[in-house]
Amino acid sequence: MTLVVVDPVTRIEGHLRIETEVDGGKVQDAWSSATMFRGVELILKGRDPRDAWAFTQRICGVCTTVHAIASIRAVENAIGATPPPNARLLRNLIISAQCVQDHVVHFYHLHALDWVDIVSALSADPAKTSALAQSISDWPLSSTTYFAGIQQRVKAFVERGQLGPFANAYWGHPAYRLPAEANLMAVAHYLEALDWQREFIKIHAILGGKNPHLQSFLVGGMATPIDPDRQASLNAGSIAQMQELIKKGRDFVTKVYIPDLLAIASFYKDWAGYGAGVGNYLVYGEYPEADGPNPALFLPPGVIHKRDLSKVEPFDPSKITEQVKHSWYEYEGGDDKGLHPFQGETKPKYTGPKPPYERLETGAKYSWLKSPRYDGEPMEVGPLARMLVAYASGQPRVKELVGVVLGKLGVGPEALFSTLGRVAARGIETQVLVEKMDDWLNGLAANMAKRELRIADNSKWEPSTWPRECSGAGFHEAPRGALGHWVHIRDGQIANYQCVVPSTWNAGPRDASGKRGPYEEALLGTPIHDPTQPLEILRTVHSFDPCIACGVHVVDAQKRELAQVRVL
Amino acid sequence: MTAPSNWFLEELERRGVSRREFMGFCGVMASALALPKSVGASIAAAIQKTEKPVLVWLEFQDCCGNTESFLRASRPTVAEIVLDTLSVDYHETIMAAAGAQARANLEKAVKDHKGKYIAVVEGSIPTGEGGAYCTIGGRSAISIARDVCGDAMATIAMGTCATFGGLPAAAPNPTGALGVADAVPGVRNLINLSACPANVENLTALVVYYLTFKNLPPTDAYRRPLFAYGKAIHDNCERRAHYDAGQYVEAWGDDGHRTGYCLYKMGCKGPVTFQNCPNVRWNEGTNWPIGCGHPCIGCAEPDFWDKMTPFYRHLSGIPGFGVQSNIDKIGAWATVGVGAAFAAHGVVSLAKRWKAGQPPRHLPDAPDKKPGEGEKGGRS
């Protein structure tokens, strides 16, 4: 048995450590550990609930909108504020733009280097690369000259002898299987995607002032004024600007991202047999299509158990619990049971090895992440869960695109339960959303045309209009999955604030009954060619798109005396 | 090694950037640095002559927002060249290597380029629990920071967490989080680029500044470059005329809000926040927070999570706003000590942080300048 530790896991957000036991060329067991803690919810106690979105937003700068959205929804739910239609449309645009940009960046900049060998691209024939590119897409940047230029550019970079972020990686590893030409094409698109993401995300700057950390969220609405006749408001010019950005975004997704994904996946079809994980999927649903309570959602909520696509259970928030048996926290009533977020309690309690350390005590507590459970079971959340629930629920466009992708790869729906399935689902979702964005933008323009200019529910802005004590929950589908915030407000201040976050669901440790979290379960059986170059571990872990800063949090600020905070 | 001027111009051409466009970029940089346009030529010369300096980027108690900001570098193709001018030997979010190979890259960079590399720090550094609140490869953030920043030619603290402790250090600072200045006492050549996140235009400008002038820029009391933090947001705000005219947004979406009136009454912290947001804006000049109708939250200032909150309460103790001369009184507000500021907004727990157990901090409590200072001519 060989212990293989990957720390830091790079090309992710946050600090993640994976420990595995490898035997017979396969992962036999795995432990996922988050190694950073900030305590954001503790910091929120006693503050103005209208400020909470800005605090929670800083949980993550990659998915820079998600905790703001969940937060304003939770507070609105608590105080009874009703955002007007324009706020719903602005938020849908912001959420979808986040998801599309994030997925493309994940594919090219965080995940691609697990499948694409940059060094191999140096030996590609640019003419053949051009033929390959033109056979899969009519994207204009595809000439022999273009790819020769990219290759020359990479060559010059390598010859200068300073490989920077590409140094000491796993180039030449036998698990890389793309032909040199496909590698060169992917490298070209890696560079193009760097430019693309910077352009596309200007939608966020228009609607939120800046990205990262947009600054236009409000409890009760949005701060972005709308008026076709004013310079300082969103107007026809802004609509035109966003139309153009969405169109260019759609072009890149349709003509570059999706063809690349299919081309690369066709060389790695065996990865449809690895990385399945727990096989349970949880989705809260997203993109309200109407105003008021319980609106229809463009991507439906639901729960799938044990890979059974014939049955989608309704989502029931009361079934969510969090456990701390293997997490660096303790519960007053003992660490063996789970607690619902509203009843939650937490004390950070670090019992791990004193740094510097070589190994974690994986039999005991070993992560700053908790173990969320739904009905007692570990659940995978994220694009795969969303696409599976939408597919099984009959969402027309998702059903159609899943069919297209499976058909092109020549595999059945069972292939979705895998590392490759996650990669494919992310692409499908991107396509579905980037097609949909125009609808929301047109809705905004239509409201402008009829002088429906409200952006916020001002009737609930002043804390004096709120109940003395109230609580609420905000649910959201972040790029990485189901996100929930729970807030308890007393006398206009936050009494308790809790987040249960996608990467906590996916990256969390074992629970009291010893059930592994989704990362841990997904790594079982992963082939390892060379334990000193654990490329295959990265493939499966990256397929979840880890966001660890998001995942680590403290649940209950209520029962904790500030005086107990231990500070050096 | 190819002669610098050749490789640089070749790279420009390969990226479809003409020499003329590049000179244009340098002109933009010159204006970001508040230099006359003619200085652009010497900037171009400096970049071409420079060997790729090594840069290592450390992430501690961070949200990756500054890395994302870095990825939004403006004038895309040219910004990429500027990045290529550096050898980014360690950056967990973008690097191909992982685990042992990644750690080896950091060790190698620090050893081979001792005293010559640039360290960038993103995120605060926790001191609680013997460093266990943030470990990388089993090592605590504070030990990595002290080693890496200790041997760097210069350290750039990118964002308010790395600069002042930021969000993790907000009361009650559960993990004993510190910014670089406090976590690495005596760190050489520290430049703070505060803001949440820091605007990449200021990082780019800083790098160009160094390559051009071969020294680091003059800074304010918080070690922030004057070229980016020398004036209050209020002094350069496009809505300033409405402030002076007493025209304010009173409710979200009202006529004044749609017209672009001053956001002071909605809680804007522009009068006490020093940054060049109104000038360089964000995302290639697309917009900025006040431009999209939301008040400034003061994210470039120390302890803004405690001192600038509640965000929607307008600055207190400033009588008769709407008169230009009162800006000096607003400046005086900025010098209110932390204790008074906490008492003002009523978060009782915050004071506890300062009484017991708080790690030592070397920052002054408030800026030692008033709005308008730091740039010749002051405010107009």
Query: What tens digit of pLDDT does each residue of B214-223 get?
Result: 899 999 999 9
Q: Is the pLDDT of residue B327 over 90?
A: no
Share of chain A above pLDDT 70, in %: 96
Most distant CA atoms of chain B, gap in Å: 65
What is the residue-wise DSSP string for A93-137? HHHHHHHHHHHHHIIIIIIGGGT--HHHHTT--HHHHHHHHHHH-
Provide the pLDDT for residue A342.
84
More confidently predicted of B377 and A281: A281
Is the Cβ–Cβ distance between B95 and A532 less than 8 Å? Answer: no
User: A19-23, A451-455, B340-344: lowest mean pLDDT where?
Assistant: B340-344
CB contact under 8 A, A50 and B251: no
Note whether B76 contacts A226, CB cutoff 8 Å: no
Note the pLDDT of residue A160: 83
Give the nearest partner residue to A568 out of B72, B139, B176, using CB atoms.
B176
Query: Per-residue pLDDT for A162 more than 60?
Result: yes
* Mean pLDDT confidence for A403-417: 96
Q: Is the pLDDT of residue A185 over 90?
A: yes
Is it the case that residue B332 has pLDDT exceeding 60?
Answer: no
Which DSSP symbol is given to B167? G
At residue B47, does pLDDT exceed 60? no
Give me the active site residues of A, please: 13, 60, 63, 67, 480, 503, 547, 550
Q: Contact at 8 Å (CB) between A454 and A291? A: no
The pLDDT value recorded for residue B320 is 43
Report yes or no: A68 at the B interface, CB cutoff 8 Å.
no
**Residue A109 sits at the chain B interface (C-beta within 8 Å):** yes
On the question of pLDDT at A22 being above 90, the answer is: yes
Residues of A in contact with B126 (CB under 8 A): 37-38
Nearest CB to B288; choose among A157, A202, A210: A210
Q: Does A458 touch chain B (CB under 8 A)?
A: yes
- What rounded mean pLDDT belongs to chain A? 94
Residue B143 has pLDDT above 70, yes or no: yes
Nearest by CB: B260 against A60, A207, A231:
A231
Residue B348 has pLDDT above 90, yes or no: no
What contacts B328, CB < 8 A, 6 or more positions away? B370, B371
Share of chain A above pLDDT 90, in %: 90
Q: Which residues of B touch A444 (CB under 8 A)?
A: none
Confidence of residue B40 (pLDDT cuts 50, 70, 90): low
Q: Report in angstroms the alpha-carbon separations of A148 from A127, A131, A266, A274, A536.
A: 8, 13, 24, 35, 30
Answer whether B138 touches A (CB < 8 Å): yes
- Chain B: closest CA distance from residue A110 (Å): 7
Write out chain A residues lying below 8 Å of B135, CB-based: 15, 17, 35-36, 355-357
Over residues B229-256, the pLDDT tens digits come to: 999 999 999 999 999 999 999 999 999 9
How many Cβ atoms from other residues are within 10 Å of residue B232's Cβ?
29
Considering only CB atoms, which chain B residues are within 8 Å of A169? 95-97, 101
* pLDDT category of residue A515 using cuts at 50, 70 and 90: very high
- The count of CB pairs under 8 A between chains A and B is 344
Q: How far apart are CA A393 and CA A141, in angstroms?
A: 38
Question: Is 60 exceeded by the pLDDT of residue A180?
Answer: yes
Strands A469-478 and A286-288: unpaired
Per-residue pLDDT of A238-278, as tens digits, reads 999 999 999 999 999 999 999 999 999 999 999 999 999 99
**Do B17 and B75 touch, CB atoms closer than 8 A?**
no
Per-residue pLDDT tens digits for A322-360: 999 999 999 889 999 898 888 776 678 999 999 999 999
Q: In this predicted structure, what is the pLDDT of residue A484?
A: 96
The yes-or-no verdict on residue B9 having pLDDT over 70 is: no
Q: Which of A165, A231, A532 sits opposite B94 (nearest CB)?
A: A165
Helix (H, G, I), strand (E, B) or coil at A480: coil
Low-confidence winner among A61-70, B55-64, B65-74 (lowest mean pLDDT): B65-74
Instruction: Note the pLDDT of residue B35.
Output: 55
**What confidence tens digit (pLDDT) does each residue in A441-463 have?**
999 999 999 999 999 999 999 99
Picking from A55-69, A407-421, B69-83, B188-202, which range would have the lowest pLDDT averaged per residue?
B69-83
Q: What is the pLDDT of residues A76-125, one digit of tens each?
A: 999 999 999 999 999 999 999 999 999 999 999 999 999 999 999 999 99
Closest alpha carbon within chain A to B103? A8
Predicted confidence at residue A488, as pLDDT, reads 95
Residue B32: per-residue pLDDT: 57
CA distance B83 to chain A (A): 11
pTM of the model: 0.90
pLDDT classification of B42: cutoffs 50, 70, 90: low
What pLDDT was estimated at residue A428? 98
- Is A205 close to B283, i.e. CB distance below 8 A? yes
Bigger pLDDT: B310 or B337?
B310
Average pLDDT value for residue range A517-534? 97
For residue B326, name the pLDDT band (cuts at 50, 70, 90).
very low
What is the C-alpha to C-alpha distance for residues B105 and B110, in angstroms, rounded to an integer?
9
pLDDT at A550: 74
| Side-chain half-sphere CA neighbours of A25 within 13 A | 3
Taking a C-beta distance cutoff of 8 angstroms, is the pair B61, B126 a contact?
Answer: yes
ipTM of the complex: 0.95
